Structure formats: C-alpha cells, structure tokens
Structure 1
Amino acid sequence: MHAWPASEVPALPGKGRDLQIHDTATQGKITLDPGPVARIYVCGITPYDATHIGHAATYNAFDLVQRVWLDTKRQVHYVQNVTDVDDPLLERALRDGHDWTELAERETALFREDMTALRILPPQQYIGAVEAIPGIVPLVERLRDAGAAYELDGDIYFSVESDPHFGGVSHLDAEAMRLLSAERGGDPDRPGKKNPLDPMLWMAARPGEPSWDGASLGPGRPGWHIECVAIALDHLGMGFDIQGGGSDLAFPHHEMGASHAQVLTGEFPMAKAYVHAGMVALNGEKMSKSKGNLVFVSALRRAGVDPAAIRLALLSHHYREDWEWTDAVLAEAEARLARWRAAVSRPDGIPADALVEEVRAALADDLDAPAALAAVDRWVDAQNAADGDDTTAPGLVSRTVDALMGVAL
C-alpha cells in the first residue's frame, strides 16, 4: 500500500531542540534522545468516514513530532497502518450495500488526499492489515505455542496474565478496563475466556465474512491489536521511540499491543513513549463515527476552506487537550492566516532570528503549538507596527512556519 506525496520541509539555520513529550506510561514528561534515526509508529484509520477533524488533529500532532525531529537533523522512520479489515468496516459496508474492499480503498484514497492537502508528512511504510496477514500468523502461532494464547471455539485469545507488565500503559483498574474493553471492540462477557480482558488474536472464519489462510490456526482473520504489533516489529523493532494515536487507543489497543510485543520478544518496553492526542467534540459530544457528528476535511475543502486555515485551527489547541470544533475556531484560524500572509508579503521586516528559537522551544516542549502560534502572532504584530529593514526576515518566518508547523504562507 502506498502513502501520499511529501511536501518539502525547508531547512532552517541552526539546529532544533530535543523533544520533551508526555508519556502516558510514566504519566509525565520525558526527554527523547532517539539517536540518528528516530522511530515512530502511529495507528492509522479504519477506512470508513475518513477524514474527520478528529483524525486530522491526531495526525497533525504526530506530524509536529516528525518536524521537531527533522529540525534536529535526524532522520525519521515513520510507520503507519490501515485497519482495512475489521468489524466496523464490514458492518458499514453491509449497512450501505457496498463491497467492503471498495469501501476501504475509496476511504483510504480520500484520506491520502486530505493528508496531502494538510501537508502532513507521510510514513515511510504505510501498511494495510490485509497485506500484513502473512506476518501476523506466525506471531499468533508463537504466542500459542509459548502458552501465552489459547483456543476458544476455534478463536485464539491472548492471555493478559502472560505479561507481567500488563496495565503499565494505561494504569487503569480492572473494572475500568472491562468497561472500556466492551466499549472499544472487546468481548469481556464471552463465556470460556480465562480472563475477561483477554483480547482476540485470531478470529476463526465466520459465514459471509472474509477470511485468510491461517496455517495451523485455521482459516480466519487477525484481531485488531496483533496487526499493529506485527507491522511495528517488522519495520521498527522493539524499543522504538514513540507509539502514537488518539487518547481512546491507550486502552485497549496500546495496552494490548505492548503486552503482545513484550511477550513475543521478552523485551521491555515496546516503545519508549506512549503519546496520545486528545479528542475533538462537536456540539458538546466527542466527534465519532458511531455518533455520526463528524466534520470532514474533504467537505471543508470542497466548501473553499484553505487547508492551511484548517491546520491553523488544529494547531490552536494543545495536542493533548480535548476541545470542540466550532465555526468560530475556523474563523479565527482564517483571520490568523490572512494576517500572517500579509505580514510576510512585505519585502522587508523586523528581525526574526529570535522567533525561530521561540517556535523551536515551544514545540520541543510537549508540542506546545498554541505557544508557537502566539510567538508568530507577536512577530506579526511587531512587523505591522514598525518599518523594519531586514530583507531576509519575511522569508525566514515563512520557512519557519512551514518547516515546523506545516503551514505554507
């Protein structure tokens, strides 16, 4: 599966700062020092109802991570998956009378278009769950053969008790885990499971549903968590720098994935930092596919909204913050974009070297995009209030905003 084209990232003078990021597992801010190649895995979409603003906010956050690392003169190895076979996708296809593969392909293509428009840097590997199945099956067999998985009516479940570190990502108690498991694709009430929280690794073939050869597992398809584990281990290995996604993935998805990987390899941890973006609401409720209260990037673009304004609207909220999309948020972003473009369109201006360092410092401090925007706002206000004679300043500001925040002026 191919990703989308990368926009050019301008080079800035000097060198950026190492990233400090909030780690869900340690429940605090840590400084990451990845070495010459920074490794990041971000969980991708289940391709239906793409791309809503909640998606865009999440991928914008991890795009900032890439840009901060690139500014430190590191390379970035970024991997993202597509959950192109899963119960919600199959249910949507059945509801709407569509072939599930065509639905997945159409929504993935739309997602690519939206990411390109928003100038989100693409992953080096963009892997669908279906194409990963040949690598998933041996992992499930290894877990089963090691006694970390068991069969129940043809399905294969992972035993969470096989990982002594289970629970160390989300820090939830058993009852909270059970409630979230039921809400987020698990089956804690299924009779016969050793532990209600045990997640499915391999679902035996069901009538009328797609299935694949599972070798000794029998025909079926993979569970949700093992898909990402197989892709991440294959392309990044253990101990990569960031496992990322929305805050609703901390449990069960990232918790279960970490346990799968740690039992498979005997190593700990799967990722140095588990980083989670906040949820976006509309009309007082979390924006979600199940509720249908979605604002789509493609619909905004069709209505003539500049993608740079959409991106500024996302950047105006800290990535870990839960916030609400409103017309006022977008209007403020459009006004800011107009002010910034007018300010950098002048042939000269006030010096901007200090601004570069302010933006770097803000983003290196747990991706504080609102502080970075405020720094540019101050430069713009000063630019409008004075007659500067630095002919390089407007171009430097434009390159800084583009390189570090992905906004083309």
Structure 2
Amino acid sequence: MSFDINIGPNIRKSAYFEATVADGVRSFSVYNHMYIPGNFGDPEAEYDRLLNGVAMWDVAAQRQVELSGPDAGALAQYLTPRNLSATRVGQGRYVPLCDHDGWLINDPVLLKLEDTRYWLSVADSDIHLWAAAVAREKRMDVQVFEPDVSPLAIQGPKAEDVTAALFGNWVRELRYFAFRETELNGIPLVLARSGWSKQGGFELYLTDGSRGGDLWQAVKEAGRPFGIGPGAPNDTERLESGLISYGADMRLQTHRTNPYEMGFGPLIDLAAGHDFIGRAALERIAANGPARRRVGLVLDGDPVQPNAHPVQLLQDGQPVGHVSEVAASRRLGMNIGVGLIRADIADSATGLSVALPDGTRAARLAPLPFA
C-alpha cells in the first residue's frame, strides 16, 4: 500500500532534495527526521540497476554524529561493546550500540577520521542526544554534535567504474569500510567503500551541504555511460542479502533485541577488559545464551505483499517468534523473510507458519543470506 506524504518545513530536506525532485522522485519516507527517497517511479528497473548495473541514492538521512576532542576515542569505546583499540585512521567499523540493559539502540558504522575525531553514521534514532548525555554525565572532554555531512551512495556491480571515473583508479584499492578525505571539482567530501547493499559500492560523504546539487549532477554525468539512474535502498535486495535494518528488524520502542540474538556475538569483546554501556547485561546474556535467534524464512504461496508491521511466527499454531519483513524475490523465485525465533527451535523445524494480514502462510527456515 502507498500513501501521499506532505512536504512541509517541519521535516528536514537533504542536500540532494531538489535534485531528486528534478529527477522524478515519486515517494519519500521519513528517516532520522529527514525525507529520504523511496522510489523514482519504476521500482523494478531500480532493482535491476542495483543488481546488474549501477544506481545512485540520496542517503543524506543517514546522519552523522561527530565526537571531537581529547576524549572522543574514550567516548566511542564506551558507547559500543566492540573493541576499537586496533581501529586506524581511515578505517570504518560496524559497531552495535546498546543501552544499559543490553538492548540494541543502533548499529552505526564508526569512521575514525583522527585520533580525536570520529563519526557515527547512524540508523534511524536520536543517537546524538544519547551520546551527548553520556559524555556530559561521564565528564568527558569531548564535543558531540551533528556535522554538515550528507552521504550519497553509488551502488551496484558498475559502481567501482563510476567512482573511478570520478576520482581516479586509486579508489579501486580501497578496502571495505576504508575511506579517504578528498574533493571533486572543489567539492569537499569523504569517500568510503561502503553502502547498504551487498552489490558493492561507495558512499560520498559530502561535507558542504550547499554543494549537494553539484555533487548529484557530477555523479549523474560520470555514471551516464554506465547506465546509472536514481533509486533508493532496496528492501528486497537487503532481505536477499541478509542485511539488518534498525527500525524494521529491531527497535527499542517496539521490538527489542540484544546483539547476541541478531548475530553480533563475534563483535562483542567481553575479554578485552574495557568498560562499555550494557556490559553487565551482555555478560549475563553470554553466560546463559540468547533466548531467540535471527533466521531467514521461505514462505509458500503466491507472491507476498510487503508487511507494514512485524507479524507472528507460529509453530503448530502457537507463537514462537516474529517476522519483521517479507518480500517476493523475483530473482530467487520465492517469498522470503527475516525474523526472530525461539533459540531452542531447530533449523529443521516443521509446522511453521507466518500470520500475514491476508492469511497464514506455511514457512520453513532458511540460512542467511539467501542463495
């Protein structure tokens, strides 16, 4: 289903907003208090470009929280259970953030720009308020604020060629999550090999919001020989690839999860000895084991419609978990979904079903990512 969304002054617009309107954006969502494009009128073509060509996305709503000052590194480490001691300047890290009870409150990418300067590239929640309050309560010598940064993503198999055409072949040597501060025709930015897809690509962290239209046009022109087109982060591709979505798969206010349930166990370093928020809670969970685990599902029947809310996962008619999102995968030729199930239920379990709004569908568990 789809609805109109009013464009008003109370919701922030990205540095690329006018460019996306000029290029035919047809829907928006609201993410981190900002408009983010949903599609440009042909979702199937946008999906095909992502899988087989190259797409450009306005993901400026992927806001940055800057930690700057002598205690920036200490604050970054206190916010996450992941051990950051080996993180180098120019390197990114995927870092789960938890509250004091061990519930996940975000899963940003941390970028270390200097020993005293970090960005948290956050999902949809007010982490800048959390981090600022923590820093003040801990009496840390650090500034916490939202910098003038607006990411633009280039994603797909041809993304590397487009990015090399813009910046030079040195971009081909960047490792995943590595980044470099650079510029393009006088436009300042940070270039990272990253993005919310498994098709490969880069994110251009524009650091002068007044140049958003210029950067959009530069990427569009460089990508023209490669068939680039505008699009948006794709829910079907993220399910196929097993990517986690804060807000869909986990959200503190509605369906709380801990990092062990979401498969983040390898990122939790309890042996390093550093203190971090939620440590005592995560030690208890690690000792007892998580009560649920993240799973993929294949659903029977005709192509499903995307669900607007989490739905129940049943075994023999009894609730055993929930499914956060489903989609019909044209590439795989089946209905797929992701969710959480009781940890004691085996991969070979039978009698499973998903209670969708249009009726219950038989289901089976499947490994992530989907083949």
Same fold (TM over 0.5): no
Quick check: which has more Rg, 1 or 2? 1
Q: What TM-score comes out, normalization by structure 1 length?
A: 0.28
Higher relative contact order (CA 8 A, sep 6+): 1
Structure with the higher fraction of residues in strand conformation: 2
Q: What TM-score comes out, normalization by structure 2 length?
A: 0.30
